[in-house]
Amino acid sequence: MRIVAALGGNALLRRGEPLTDAAQQANVRRAAGALASLCDGPVELIVTHGNGPQVGLLALQSAAGPPGSEQSLDVLNAESEGMLGYLIERELRNALPPGRQVVSILSQVLVDPADPAFACPSKPIGPLYAEAEARRLASEHGWSVTRDVAGWRRVVASPTPVAVLEIGVIELLVSRGIIVVCVGGGGIPVARGGDGLLHGVECVIDKDRASALLAQELRADCLLLLTDVDAVYADWGTSRQRAIVAAGPDDIDVRNFAAGSMRPKIEAAIEVARGAGIRAVIGRLEDAAALVQGGAGTTVTPAWSGLVLRD
């Protein structure tokens, strides 16, 4: 079985937890233990991950440097992908039996420079701020900011991913039984100029969209969208809320879910189920093995029609 497992930001950094090195490493270790539970038997595993808090912090550090030293978002995405890829690779090696090979790959993901997303920044990155502080930073740095669940955050453009440029190398490694960590933070955004040459792009690609694209390009059997919530809930936040156990790709209305929270995961699940017939499961990191076996989370699959709600 070939599995693409996408670690959400809340799986690597718990809600309200400070972005310290100790907290990040402890959470990566916990994530690696859950991912290692998937590797019993003939499983080909590909791991992706978010980077919103990390790339936002790197952007702040870059902006605080000497004049002219500020780095573009494509370079900061590469830095965060390398950092988190190293941590995940190291902890997976520690959690797996000796001899199981793991590698992390810096992944360039092609975007269309004419994508309308560039006119409407929507992807939150970095820490939470009080409104006054967010507006001050926006004025100083030319940022776009918006209200998030518990405060204000910087938002940047998030175009649709078109292609993973390293897909041939990833396929080769996976086919030889090597666990691959790739497309971190949605990948490093690049585009082709009129001369056909690649150049970096000032944006952040949504990790769930990029993971859905990767799952389709690799012809995966299952896409796991791992977070800190046990399932997708209908009527969330009301007295009527109930967990969705299973659904067909045409049976969930994404408009009923928050754009900055569960919606990208549901959209990714619908995309792979509808477009490639791939089973997608949304649920908690610690339930990873049960999600694959159908014993936890929310499954979106073309093999099902209608909604199954938990009693």
Among 51, 126, 207, 297, which one carries the catalytic annotation?
A: 207
Among 10, 27, 51, 77, which one carries the catalytic annotation?
A: 10
Q: Is the dihedral of CA 112, 116, 117, 119 positive or negative?
A: positive
Both structure tokens of 21: 């090195």
Among 51, 184, 265, 297, which one carries the catalytic annotation?
A: 265
In contact, 55 and 156? CB cutoff 8 Å: no
Q: Is 207 a catalytic residue?
A: yes
Both structure tokens of 135: 């507006």
Among 8, 9, 85, 184, which one carries the catalytic annotation?
A: 9
Give burial (CB, 10 Å; 0-12/13-18/19+) of 176: exposed
Q: How many CA atoms lie within 13 A of 274 on its CB side?
A: 12
Q: Is 27 a catalytic residue?
A: no
CA dist list (Å): 162 to 17, 115, 118, 190, 221: 33, 11, 15, 10, 21
Among 27, 52, 123, 283, which one carries the catalytic annotation?
A: 123
Closest by CA to 249, choosing from 172, 186, 306, 185, is: 306
Around Cβ 298, how many Cβ atoms within 10 Å? 29
Q: Is 277 a catalytic residue?
A: no
Q: Is 9 a catalytic residue?
A: yes
Q: Is 33 a catalytic residue?
A: no
Residues involved in catalysis: 9-10, 123, 207, 265
